[in-house]
Amino acid sequence: MSSESDDGTLFERLRRALESGRLAHAYVFAGLPSRTHAVAIRLLQLLHCDSGSGRPCGRCPACRNVAAHRHADSLWIEPRNKSRNIDIDTVRSIRGHMARSSMAGRWKSAVFAGADRMQEPAANALLKMLEEPTPDTIFLLLSDNPQALLDTVRSRCQVLRLHGGGGAPDAFSGPVLEILEAGGPGVIGGLLRARRLGALLKPERERIEKEEKAAVNWDLYEGKARERMEEIVDARVAARYKGTLSDALLALERWYHDILLCAAGAGESFFIHGDRAQSVRALATGLTCGRACHNIRVIEDMKGQVDLNVSESMLFDRAFAVLTARNKES
């Protein structure tokens, strides 16, 4: 089963399913990491909230622990180390957690962030748990590339796709568009845009890293245990920052989609950013449709490199050197 919703509508569907006793034991949330993470947090807060109101309060200890990935009945599994994969040992390690009774007498949950990074042996180990779920357990697989999941795993989950509506992502829409409109023509202008985008994203990564480190009581860890926790924190930072970078790239893609439409002769009523039609027309002037299509492919390639740990400065520098080249058919 697969369906598409915005964040609020999806959460309401899940809340009603819980009320009626129809909540599935496994879901794939497909979409940008920042959005799938947010919906997963809200659902888990709903399952664990102490308020008893039927909606997550966001303030009780249970809700706060869920948001910080520290709830005793909820495990977060993320790609680790430089390999950026989820291995079989990690999946096997959650068997005991999912088999025992809930400490709070409610639900037990396991969330796989970046589930498409699961190695095949790990996916097969997860499959066994999906085929024989224990009562009051739920598995959430978060992925911006759900087609990379094993078919057998995906078939045992309800696939729910999150879309972002007609505009660019909220967090970076305005700042990214302002950078894209400025900077001047040619390769020099492109390089300036690339550096400004990198400068926009750097504080966000620092903020995420600060939050994740502050959420850990480091006094409890020494030696190998501390090294493992540092690896876990690094993986959490990388996963969250990937969501931020994906949001920025989606804003970039939608901007160049408008330029493609303009180059093809479409009116501004078809633009995503109709309020910036003048800037779109200026950038599309003299641009062939072939070149505009090539620019979209360049951005698609950028999105594919996010998983390869390419630095954002190198990513944007390379891309804008191509994106600002003019008028040669590709």
> What pLDDT was estimated at residue 127?
94
Predicted structure pTM score: 0.57
> What pLDDT was estimated at residue 122?
94
Q: What is the pLDDT of residues 219-239, one digit of tens each?
A: 888 888 888 888 878 877 877
Whole-angstrom CA distances from 199 to 186, 206, 241, 256, 308 are 20, 11, 14, 21, 20
pLDDT at 123 over 90: yes
Rounded to an integer, the average pLDDT of 263-272 is 86
Burial (CB count <10 Å: 0-12, 13-18, 19+), residue 309:
exposed
Binned at pLDDT 50, 70 and 90, residue 169 comes out as very low
Question: Which has the higher per-residue pLDDT, 244 or 88?
Answer: 88
Q: What is the pLDDT of residues 186-214, one digit of tens each?
A: 778 888 888 888 888 888 888 888 888 88
**Residue 59 to residue 50: CA distance in whole angstroms:** 9
pLDDT at 130 over 60: yes
Tell how many helices (H) and how many strands (E) occur in the chain. Answer: 13, 6
Q: What is the pLDDT of residues 255-265, one digit of tens each?
A: 888 989 999 99
Mean pLDDT of the residues in the chain? 83
End-to-end Cα distance, the chain: 39
Domains of the chain: 2-162 (3.40.50.300), 173-323 (no CATH)
- E strand or H helix at 186: helix 186-214
Q: What is the pLDDT of residues 303-329, one digit of tens each?
A: 777 766 667 778 888 888 888 765 444
